[in-house]
Amino acid sequence: MAGPTIAFFPEGAHGPTNNCIGIGRVLRERGARVVFVVEESFAGTLEARGFEEALMRLKPKLEVEEEPGQFWKDFIRDTAPQFHRPTIDQLEGLILPIWQELVDGVRSVDERLVEVFDELRPDVIVQDNVVAFPAMLASGRPWVRIVSCNPLELKDPALPPVFSGYPSADTVGWDDFRRRYRELHDPLQREFSPFCVERGAPPLPEGEFVHESPFLDLYLYPAEADYARSRPLGPTWQRLESCVREVTEPWEPPTGDGKLVYLSLGSLGSGDVELMRRLIGFLAESEHRVVVSMGPQHAALELAPNMVGAEFLPQPAVLPHVDLVVTHGGNNTVTESLHFGKPMVVLPLFWDQYDNAQRMDELGLGVRLAPYEVEGDELRGAIDRLLGDEALARRLGAISARLQARPGTAVAADAIQALVD
């Protein structure tokens, strides 16, 4: 008997897509038909991993050749000056434009998604998006929401506001940030909710751009780093802890003595050539060996003699070999680093990266630094302190052992299968 059809619908960026790939592989190995509903710029990338693809477009086709996630790479490049501003000021110049682009994309693609889901007839739809797609809810099929951002996205009055990067133990500024967020975003949300209803979905919860699933909701953060809530999440919520995909790409660490440091600002952050050059220059003066994920502007970067790198690196294959991670604080990189027990220096740029940076710092699992203000001595000093902290190494080792003993990919696959069994 043929297995169930599971449709994965990740946001058009590498982080959510990679998260879904890990879960999809487990389900495929168990006999499910796994189809990825992806933006056209990702065409062929999922097929190369053995999955079926159903293609759609969120935005008009660009005149230039597109890489996976090209629209968001271009968008972040054009709004990069906002990265220099405090998070409360980013709300207007960066966060609101991101929400606007996301909502516009939903409006553009909803009819195509109706066709896709009618053609696929999936038994379950698994979506990893921060915005609602009415076609999915209107399909009448069981659906799963994955939150692969920092769990502050699941709001709680006793926790800092999402996107703020504010400390958990100090409420100064929380109310002002929340007030400014609602002032800017409520008009868009009140316009988007009726569209969802018009297209056959329920109205959006107040202040939200996405629904909770009445079937299954999953979020990605280890228990050791999660937040203490004043009110529990609903019964449909499960914590995945970590969700690391298996990689088949071979990767061997460079030869030589000394510690091995991994520098990655993600597929979007690494497009800031001047920032990458600055960090590479700082690490060139380190006594450590360095692996650099060079990203889409790799041709504009020159590595130092103590470095190796490439445009793309199979991160889950790299992380077991390194001793420390210098990261932008994307949720996948943070949770994967904890999965492999690696301390972090976090240089946040936008979205939930500030929340992850603050959480790692306040828990003593890493150090938060300002990417455009940090100097070489400060960065190298933070790296050396973390590498020399034996108590932290033991603590991270224990976290890693627990996470690897219960892979989130299998936990998610079990929960999804339960919806169709």
346 & 224 share domain: no
- Residue 85 is encoded by which pair of tokens? 């501003």
216 phi and psi angles, rounded to 5 deg: -165, 130
In this predicted structure, what is the pLDDT of residue 57? Answer: 77
Residue 251 domain flag: no
Q: What's the domain range around 80?
A: 5-241+407-417
Domains in the chain: how many in total?
2
217 & 357 share domain: no
Burial of 65 (0-12, 13-18, 19+ CB in 10 A): exposed
Q: Which residues, 6 or more positions from 159, have their beta carbon under 8 angstroms from its beta carbon?
A: 152, 168, 227, 229, 230
Q: How far is the C-alpha of 310 from the C-alpha of 299, rounded, in Å?
A: 10
Per-residue pLDDT of the chain (421 residues; tens, 9 = 90+): 479 999 999 987 777 888 899 999 999 999 999 999 988 877 888 888 889 999 887 766 555 565 554 555 666 667 667 788 999 999 999 999 999 999 999 999 999 999 999 999 999 999 999 999 999 999 999 999 999 999 999 999 999 999 999 999 999 999 999 999 999 999 999 999 999 999 999 999 999 999 999 999 999 999 999 999 999 999 999 999 998 888 877 888 888 888 999 999 987 777 788 899 999 999 999 999 999 998 877 788 889 999 999 888 889 999 999 999 999 999 999 999 999 999 999 999 989 999 999 999 999 999 999 999 999 999 999 999 999 999 999 999 999 999 999 999 999 999 999 999 8
229 & 293 share domain: no
Residue 254 domain flag: no
Q: Are 69 and 41 in contact (CB under 8 A)?
A: yes
Residue 106 domain flag: yes
161 & 22 share domain: yes
Q: Which residues, 6 or more positions from 255, have their beta carbon under 8 angstroms from its beta carbon?
A: none
Q: Which of 44, 2, 32 is nearest to 17 (CA)?
A: 44
**Between the CA of residue 163 and those of 96, 274, 348, 357, 411, what are the distances in Å?**
12, 24, 11, 11, 28
- Residue 373 is encoded by which pair of tokens? 């203000």
Structure pTM? 0.92
203 & 313 share domain: no
Domain containing residue 270: CATH number: 3.40.50.2000
Q: Which residues, 6 or more positions from 316, have their beta carbon under 8 angstroms from its beta carbon?
A: 244, 245, 246, 247, 336
- Residue 246 is encoded by which pair of tokens? 């298996």
Q: Are 37 and 8 in contact (CB under 8 A)?
A: yes
Q: How many CA atoms lie within 13 A of 88 on its CB side?
A: 12
Q: Which of 216, 151, 203, 195 is nearest to 352 (CA)?
A: 151
413 & 391 share domain: no
Rounded (5°) CA angle 201-241-223: 115
276 & 225 share domain: no
Q: How far is the C-alpha of 411 from the C-alpha of 402, rounded, in Å?
A: 14
Q: Are 222 and 335 in contact (CB under 8 A)?
A: yes
Q: From the CB of residue 26, how many other CB atoms can be counted at a distance below 10 Å?
A: 22
Residue 231 domain flag: yes
Q: How far is the C-alpha of 20 from the C-alpha of 28, rounded, in Å?
A: 12
Q: Which residues, 6 or more positions from 202, have their beta carbon under 8 angstroms from its beta carbon?
A: 137, 196, 211
Residue 28 domain flag: yes
80 & 214 share domain: yes
Q: How far is the C-alpha of 95 from the C-alpha of 82, rounded, in Å?
A: 10
In this predicted structure, what is the pLDDT of residue 153? Answer: 96
Residue 354 domain flag: yes
Q: Which residues, 6 or more positions from 52, have their beta carbon under 8 angstroms from its beta carbon?
A: 33, 34, 35, 36, 46
Q: Are 211 and 189 in contact (CB under 8 A)?
A: no
Q: Which of 42, 2, 43, 5 is nearest to 24 (CA)?
A: 5
In this predicted structure, what is the pLDDT of residue 59? Answer: 62
230 & 290 share domain: no
Q: From the CB of residue 317, how many other CB atoms can be counted at a distance below 10 Å?
A: 16
Look up tokens 């003595």; give the residue: 257
Residue 252 domain flag: no
Q: Which residues, 6 or more positions from 137, have their beta carbon under 8 angstroms from its beta carbon?
A: 143, 196, 200, 201, 202, 211
302 & 389 share domain: yes
Amino acid identity at 101: E
Residue 253 domain flag: no
293 & 232 share domain: no
153 & 233 share domain: yes
